Amino acid sequence: MQVPKGTLIALGGGDDDGLINLVRSELCSIDSHIEVITTATLEPMESGQAYKEAFEELGCSSVRFMHIDEDNEADKPEYLSRIGKAEVIFFTGGNQLRLKEFLAGTQLHELMQRRFKEEEITIAGTSAGAAAMSDRMIYEGYGYYSLLKGEVKTTEGLSFIRNVFIDTHFTERGRFGRLAHAVSKRPQFVGIGLGEETGIIIKGGQHVEVFGNAVVTVMDSSHVRYSNLDEVEEGEPIAVENLIMHLLVEGHEYCLTDRVFRKLSQQKRKTSSKT
């Protein structure tokens, strides 16, 4: 599979000043074209304007936002032209199912995917915008019920990365069970749980670094020795043996292809600052 040239950034929700500062300080210049996609939210004008102003306060001079829904189709020539020039594409929070409904399979979506594979652009998102980044996303499963067979639902995502579940508001909303359930059903997937105000940077489609002050949870079910998922009926609790979990904080990374946890050296993250 082709190694993407783009950089993926996902935040677990909450205050996103850290994410905006990271994008500006390390991944784009003041002249970079930034497009904010507000499709996930039901308050697109307010959300889009807030992000536009946040980037502009850091000196960015070319920030625009677009809302795509049942009344605003994705494949407008204007939108295609703007995404064709964008150096940063930012997905807001809201409901990730809206991103699938109104973007997946469009020419605009295909253009984003192609550019992410072939060019050094940045695709970033928070909350729902982060959860939708992989080829599959979780959209149901709560509390105790998330450990009952059939209660965790997944669907296709935007496919900027493959074989990863990204779950957001992870510790704050008690989503351990649903991520564990999701990866146990699909051992080829790695589960990544993002707490609020904490996120990940993924380069080359495989190297996961942490930013922010909280913890990123990584789940790996590739070494599971036993589960009862094929034996129990819908609505019954699941059992899983040897599910591996890692806790990452800033200064550590996880390699998705090798499924290896490492501590980084003291030198700063190897991203070239642009001014």
Query: Any idea of the CA torsion for 121, 15, 255, 259, to the nearest 10 degrees?
Result: -140
CATH code of residue 177: 3.40.50.880
Q: What would the mean pLDDT of 149-154 be, rounded to a whole number? A: 96
Structural domain total, the chain: 1
Query: Is residue 100 domain-resident?
Result: yes
Q: What would the mean pLDDT of 129-151 be, rounded to a whole number? A: 95
Give the model confidence (pLDDT) of 107-136 as tens digits. 999 999 999 999 999 999 999 999 999 999
Angle formed by the axes of helices 107-118 and 77-85, nearest 10°:
10
Query: Is residue 232 domain-resident?
Result: yes
Cα(208)–Cα(96) distance, rounded to whole angstroms? 22
Query: Is residue 147 domain-resident?
Result: yes
Per-residue DSSP letter, 148: B
Query: Is residue 109 domain-resident?
Result: yes
Q: Is the pLDDT of residue 88 over 60?
A: yes
Give the model confidence (pLDDT) of 169-202 as tens digits. 999 999 999 999 999 999 999 999 999 999 999 9
Q: What range defines the domain where residue 186 resides?
A: 7-263
Query: Is residue 64 domain-resident?
Result: yes
Q: Which of 219, 216, 210 is nearest to 177 (CA)?
A: 219
With a CB cutoff of 8 Å and minimum separation 6, the contacts of 166 are: 10, 130, 131, 133, 134, 137, 192, 194
Query: Is residue 206 domain-resident?
Result: yes
Active site residues: 127, 169, 196
pLDDT at 266: 64
Query: Is residue 271 domain-resident?
Result: no
Q: Is the pLDDT of residue 87 over 70?
A: yes
Query: Is residue 217 domain-resident?
Result: yes
| pTM score | 0.93
Give the model confidence (pLDDT) of 229-274 as tens digits. 999 999 999 999 999 999 999 999 999 999 999 999 865 444 433 4
Contact 37, 66 (CB under 8 A): yes
pLDDT at 267: 53
Contact 3, 205 (CB under 8 A): yes
